Structure formats: structure tokens, C-alpha cells
Chains A and B, each alone.
Chain A
């Protein structure tokens, strides 16, 4: 287990280094940062001075080392557009995106898992067929369209929920949360459902097909032959055996929820990292783009690491250091 963890950590560091390299080369190839920072009337001496200040005259490996070391400390420089530290800009926006993504993931898992088990158990039932047909809608409709439809129905026609923004947020230290005010909770429902719908149908279909597979297994037949009640067979033996692939997918999907919240954030005017990133793209604000790229990669790496460790919790066959017959301790 320890050796495995160390191996995975080394891999994670390697992945992050490659991503940092990509981010670094954005600075090299997307225009000259100096041109965007100084005014039109700047002299060549001013430019040269700024260049020296920014370290742009150093050899490229040295520049990259400096960039990587600073990035590892959370310092991504100053935004061209906002003239503020990128790390602070992102930290301000991060709670909105993380809360949106986590809420979406929870909705997706809470509805997707039971629906998947149900449709797996009663594959020929009317309700199952109805759910499966509806899930096609969730899979095939693009996010922005679902968002607009939801806004039209719940905000415009019914007027139950707000159509944009985070509503009132409560400050916990530097973290602004939606979870502690009624208006905040109401505001997060529509964007979270929009963002989570695809994941929900995805999880449901995955669990369904895994259940169909596992229910054919000999140990399920044997569990029935032992006279175990259906509740134990279905939710204990069968569901637990579907978990390894399901955890993998939910983990990866959580990463993409964070990364691809951009569209949902745009539709709902959600003040998260996605919006910050889109604005940065429009004005070629490279420090923000680079920081966003590295941050998303970091989330993916961390989530993957957690998923890998969850395998150990779920599947005893992977725990190689368990003593076998008292042989090795």
C-alpha cells in the first residue's frame, strides 16, 4: 500500500510537471506579454527594463524552473487584465465552482445509483423502460439547451427559482458558501441540476449495465441458493460488486464537472472559475489561463489518487499486504 502510494505520487508529480510545461509554453507562443502590459507610448528602454524585471531574458530552462517553482507555491503571477494576483482571483472564484460541481455530483449520485439499481433489477418493467427512455434525453441534449429549458420552466413560467447568479452567500472566512442561506440554496438548484443531469444518466446507465452483468454471476446465484433475502443479495452482494467501475467513473466525472462547468456557469451567470477563464481567453490573459489549466490538472490528479485508494477499500483482492495464512506479517 505504501509503495503503491509513493509510486502514484511520483506519477502525479510527473503529470503535473508536463502540464506545467504546457502552461509555460503558452507564455512563449501566445504573443509577447510585454506588449500587452505596457502602454503604446512606451520606449524600447522601458520594454527592455520590464523584460529584465520579468526574467524574460533568462535561458528558457531557467524561466521554466522559476515558473514551476512559483506555481508549486501557488504563485501564478499577475493578471494582465485585472492587475491583481492570479492566485487571489482564482481563490475568490473557486468556492462557487466547487460548490456547484459537488452539488451536481451529489444530485447525480443520489438519483443515478438507485435508478441504476432499479432498472437493472426490473429490466423489463414499464417504469424501467420509461426511465431508460428519459435518460436518453439527458445523455443527448446539450447542457446549454437543458439549462435554458430549465430557466424557462422554473424561473420564467413558474417563477420558483432564480435564473442567474449565486443569490445571497454566507462568508465562512474567505470561503463564500451557497449552502447556508435560502436564497443561496435556491440559486444553486437549477445550475446544479443542469450540470449534473448528464452525469446522472451516465451513472444510472453504468450501474444498470454493471448490475445486469453482476446479477448473472455465480456468487449471486449461490447467495440466492443460500436463501438470503433479496435486499441483501441486491444491495449487498450485487451493488458492492459494481462499485469499482462506478467509483472510477464518478471520480473522473467529478473532475470534468469542475473543468466543464464553464458552459453552465455562462448560462446561469455563475461567478465561478469557468467565467473567469472565459473572460481571460477573450483578452488573452495568459497567467489566468495557465493557472486554470494547472489547477484543473491538479484536481484530476488528486481525484484519481483518491479513486485509486478507494479501490483498496472496496476490493480486498488488491490488499496484497493482508497476511495470508499468517505467512508474512
Chain B
């Protein structure tokens, strides 16, 4: 498929994440596969509980017990990283894969100054002395656009606004120039006016540094703004994955279609936004067949028994029986008779 000089930076293969409970294992992420190319921004969208954050946590080895990787593998530049001993995956975290979390208010240790948190991260990964690390910390703060960085470097997190704190968090993620950043809802906790700034900052920095990003969010607007490709997750599976233009403009999976219909557009007057009826099933109540079938307008009998797999459709891949080989096109008409 891909030759050696097109090797993906990150490759997730058949990943399955389970939570053992007294009533058997709950499958939170079920057999998902995707690649991220060097420098690419992959958006991952879905409702809460779709498994997008868990996937991000699994990649950096921070899945919280009892959650565990039950199957599949995660490859970073061709090297398997999901089964490494703790100290080896720790050395990868921050150094090769950075992370940004949702809430900048709680991501920073309130008792340590910003400089201390930056310097300890830099010195963990790079062979610099205190002085050099401090210089680098200052450069990073300037790069993420903290005004008056040289005066503010020794301030504590509570002395920064939410947007400024998220910039500090981004600086912390970039400390050791990682090749990939997992950004888990990086703008959700911020004011709407700040969100766009942070997204464009993230986009610019990653472009300049050649850093790839896995951008986890439930905000389609953020995806449309920043991502190169997008994966839509539903109930622990990928419903659709493809170039952002195609997924946004020509959504194939009925779920994606519903998601796009729920975004308001400026200039297009609509009386009512479309909404998807019902809600995503809980983990222990995922129906057989396609997980989306109880909410799907195009549901067929086959959807209730047979689980669709990802398959190519135009430039995207989609997991829906509607896009099976051409012989199945008749089903679109057939379901009308129900």
C-alpha cells in the first residue's frame, strides 16, 4: 500500500479498548484503524463517549485503568509503541508525542510558576542546563504569543487568563519539538472569541514545525477550520474518514450528514437546524449490526444484523451499507417499502 518514503508518522491498527466490569467487558473503542501523515492535521469528531479521547489517551500510553488495549497495535514511525515498558513510553511522551488537554485552567500545576513547569519539561527531554532551558522556555512563550513573555515567565498560572494559559499549555507541548501532538478538545473550555485564535496559533505552529496533530473535538467548525482530514467516530467506531472538504461538503454516512446539517451557516437562512433524533447508545447497549441503526433514516434490515466495515467511497472511506458495492444501491429504494 504505502511505500517506505510515504510511511505514516502514526499508524493505529485495529485498536480495541475495553473496560472490564463485573458484567463482562465494555468495548469503548472497537477495531479502529487510521494513519496520520507527517505534518498532517487529523480531526477526530464525535459525541461524548464516542471513544475519541480514549483513542488519544491510548496513543500516549495514558489510558486510565481499568481501561486497557485489548487488541490492535499503535505504530510511531513504524515502531510499535503500545506494548512498551513504562519508562520507554514515558520517554516518548513529550519528546515525540506532545499532548494538549481540554481545560487550561486545570492542566497547569497551580503551585509552580510557568517557568518552572517549562524548564522541568525541557530538561526532562533535552540535554540543556538550567540557563539554556530558561532561554528556550522564553523563546517558546514568545512563539506562542504571550505578550511581555520575559516579565511573565516567572508568573503563576492563576495570573494568566484562560486563553493565555492555553498558549502556555501549547508551549509546554512543544517543549521538545514532538513530531505529533494529541490535542484533546483544546478550545472547548475557552471563550468563543479566543477559540479561533488558539486554533489558528496551533495550525500555524504545527505548520512551521512540521508537527502533525490529532485534533480531538466535537466542534465541526474547528475541524473545518483546521483539519486536513477528518475521522467521524460513533460508538467506538469510525463511521467515516476522509479529506475534510469531502466530508464536510459531501458527507456520506447518514450520521456525518446529520452532524453537518446541525451546523448553522452564516448567510443561509434556515428556520430550524436539522437534528439527529435520539442519542448515542450507552456502551452496554450498543445494538447489533450498525450502531447507528436506531437513529438512521435510511435503515435497512441488513443494518440491524450486519455490522458495516469501512470501505472506499470516492476519496473517503465510510462504514455504511448504503455505500456497499453497486448491487446494493437498490436498497435505498427498497427501504421505502417498510
Binding site for B on A (CB under 8 A): 217-219, 221-230, 232, 236-237, 240-241, 314-317, 322, 324-326
Among A227, A236, A240, the residue within 8 A (CB) of B95 is A227
B288 → A minimal CB distance (Å): 35
* A218–B110 alpha-carbon span in the complex (Å): 11
Interchain CB contact under 8 A, B158 and A316: yes
B interface bracket (residues with beta carbon within 8 Å of A): 35 or more
Q: Which residues of B contact A241 (CB under 8 A)?
A: 109-111
Contact B101 A222 (CB under 8 A): yes
CB<8 Å pairs between A and B, sample of 24: A218-B106, A219-B110, A221-B101, A222-B107, A223-B109, A224-B62, A224-B93, A225-B60, A225-B94, A226-B93, A226-B94, A226-B172, A227-B90, A227-B121, A227-B176, A228-B124, A229-B90, A232-B124, A241-B110, A316-B110, A316-B158, A322-B159, A325-B151, A325-B152
Chain A nearest CB: distance from B179 CB in Å? Answer: 14
On whether the beta carbons of B92 and A225 are closer than 8 Å, the reply is no
Contact B124 A229 (CB under 8 A): yes
18 additional A-B residue pairs with CB within 8 Å, beyond A222-B172, A227-B92: A217-B106, A218-B101, A219-B106, A222-B101, A225-B62, A225-B101, A226-B173, A227-B91, A227-B93, A228-B120, A228-B124, A230-B90, A240-B111, A241-B111, A314-B111, A325-B148, A325-B152, A325-B159
Among B60, B94, B111, contact of A228 (Cβ-Cβ < 8 Å): B94
With the chains together, A227 CA to B148 CA distance in Å? 28
Which chain A residues border B103 with CB–CB below 8 Å? 218
Count of A-B contacts with CB under 8 A? 89
Give residues of chain B (83-130) contacting chain A, Cβ–Cβ below 8 Å.
Answer: 90-95, 98-99, 101-103, 106-113, 120-121, 124-125
Checking B98, B148, B156 against A317 with a beta-carbon cut-off of 8 angstroms, the contacting residue is B156
B230 interfacial by beta-carbon distance below 8 Å: no
Residue of B106, B107, B121, B155 most packed against chain A (CB within 10 A): B107
- Do A232 and B93 contact each other (CB < 8 Å), given the known contacts A219-B110, A221-B62, A222-B169? no
Report whether B124 and A227 are in contact in the complex, using a CB–CB cutoff of 8 Å.
Answer: yes
Residue of B nearest to A217 (CB): B106
A328 to chain B, nearest CB (A): 12
Chain B, 151-178, CB within 8 A of any chain A CB = 151-152, 155-156, 158-159, 169, 172-173, 175-176
Q: How far, in angstroms, from A228 to B120 measured CA to CA in the complex?
A: 8
Which residues from chain B contact A225 at a C-beta distance below 8 Å? 60, 62, 93-94, 98-99, 101
A322 neighbours in B (Cβ, 8 Å): 155-156, 159
Restricting to B29-85, which residues have a CB under 8 Å from any CB of A? 60, 62
Q: Closest CB-CB distance, A283 to chain B, in whole Å?
A: 52
Nearest residue (CB) in A for B182 is A225
In Å, the complex CA distance between A240 and B120 comes to 16
Q: Which 6 A-B pairs have the closest CB atoms?
A: A227-B94, A225-B99, A227-B93, A218-B106, A316-B156, A226-B94
CA distance A76 to B245 in the complex (A): 87
Q: Residues of B contacting A229 with CB < 8 Å?
A: 90, 124
